[in-house]
């Protein structure tokens, strides 16, 4: 249609109860008396973690105050659990040396340690806290062997739909640019997918533009795109 400059708009209605897809938080609370070690490489500068419910994994980033070497190495213990009486009680944890070869699921270089690993309970447990502790290498965790600790609360991360126009078809042929005839209605099929973390239970596609007229047609359901899934402080 000559002179028709059209644009499509997408609108998704959120589900009444958006799904919890993760729990995440920053580790910002340092218990009194820590750090006990004088070496910066045995002190935590920051930490953040997440429990990825859909994937059954835990992730995190931890930064030491200095890069460790063989003389200042520690074990980094990352634990997830629940607050009991104001104390974060660990239910599951992963551990890696901070110097040399790091354990499976850990990466990063120098003073930064990255975590991305499966963990029992990560797909379903209702954890509300986590902590990271630097302990003496190879020693059972205890106040006597712990150099530093950071604790934090976990909060829910809600999954929301994120819409994308997957294809536009005219007369069942995919097109990138519409060439319409003035005064003639032309059916336009628009495929929309939710590539976010949640289904979109009600999707509305609207069009508008100078010199154009639009009428609502039949719609089907939009489907979510598939995706790849005992210390205390």
Domain ranges in the chain are 1-18+160-229, 20-158
pTM above 0.75, yes or no: no
Q: How many CA within 13 A on the CB side of residue 56?
A: 7
Q: What is the mean pLDDT of residues 116-130?
A: 97
Whether the Cβ atoms of residue 137 and residue 73 lie closer than 8 Å to each other:
yes
Per residue in 76-102, pLDDT (tens digit) is 999 999 999 999 999 999 999 999 999
Q: What is the mean pLDDT of residues 196-205?
A: 64
Whether the Cβ atoms of residue 94 and residue 141 lie closer than 8 Å to each other:
no
Whether the Cβ atoms of residue 186 and residue 180 lie closer than 8 Å to each other:
yes
Residue 222 has pLDDT above 50, yes or no: no
Per residue in 165-199, pLDDT (tens digit) is 766 666 566 666 666 677 777 777 777 776 666 66
Closest to 122 in 3D by CA, of 232, 23, 196? 23
Distance CA 160, CA 231 (A): 35
More confident residue, 227 or 44: 44
């Amino acid at each position: 249609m000559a002179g028709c400059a059209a644009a499509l708009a997408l609108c998704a209605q959120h589900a009444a109860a958006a799904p919890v897809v993760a729990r995440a938080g920053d580790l910002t609370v340092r218990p009194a008396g820590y750090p006990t070690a004088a070496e910066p490489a045995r002190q935590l500068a920051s930490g953040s973690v997440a429990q990825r419910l859909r994937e059954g994994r835990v992730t995190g980033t931890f930064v030491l105050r200095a890069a460790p070497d063989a003389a200042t190495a520690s074990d980094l213990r990352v634990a997830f659990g629940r607050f009991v009486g104001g104390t974060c009680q660990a239910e599951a944890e992963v551990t890696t040396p901070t110097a040399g070869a790091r354990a499976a699921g850990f990466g990063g270089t120098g003073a930064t340690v990255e975590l991305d690993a499966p963990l029992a309970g990560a797909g379903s447990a209702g954890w509300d806290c986590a902590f990271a502790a630097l302990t003496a290498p190879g020693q059972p965790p205890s106040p006597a062997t712990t150099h530093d600790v950071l604790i934090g609360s976990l909060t829910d991360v809600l999954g929301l739909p994120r819409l994308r126009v997957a294809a536009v078809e005219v007369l069942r042929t995919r097109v990138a640019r519409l060439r319409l005839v003035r005064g003639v209605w032309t059916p336009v099929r628009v495929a929309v997918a939710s590539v976010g973390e949640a289904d979109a239970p009600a999707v509305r596609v609207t069009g508008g533009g100078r010199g154009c007229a639009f009428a609502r047609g039949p719609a089907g359901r939009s489907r979510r795109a598939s995706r790849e899934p005992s210390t205390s402080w």
